[in-house]
Amino acid sequence: MTYPVIEPRDEERSGAAGKAVAVVTSFILFLVGLGLFALAFEVDEAWRAWTFAGGLAIVTLAFMLPTTIIPALEGDD
């Protein structure tokens, strides 16, 4: 079979950029979550629980993004 002048891309390489963005985003979210954990002990008593819960939610999202959300969006077509 003959191909046009532009050859088709390798599917492995075309998805690498998306995976790199997901990993960097997850790493940034993880650092923000750790920052909120540290900040939770420095804020006023009224905001302490909310700051800790926010840190917990962001760290959870940071782990869910590359392990659950991105593979589910990509699918195995």
- d(Cα 19, Cα 35) in Å, to the nearest integer? 24
Q: What per-residue confidence (pLDDT) applies to 3?
A: 61
**pLDDT of amino acid 52:** 95
Domain boundaries, the chain: 21-71
pLDDT tens digits for range 6-25: 666 666 566 677 788 888 99
pLDDT digits (tens, 9 = 90+) for 30-75: 999 999 999 999 999 999 999 999 999 999 999 999 888 888 887 7
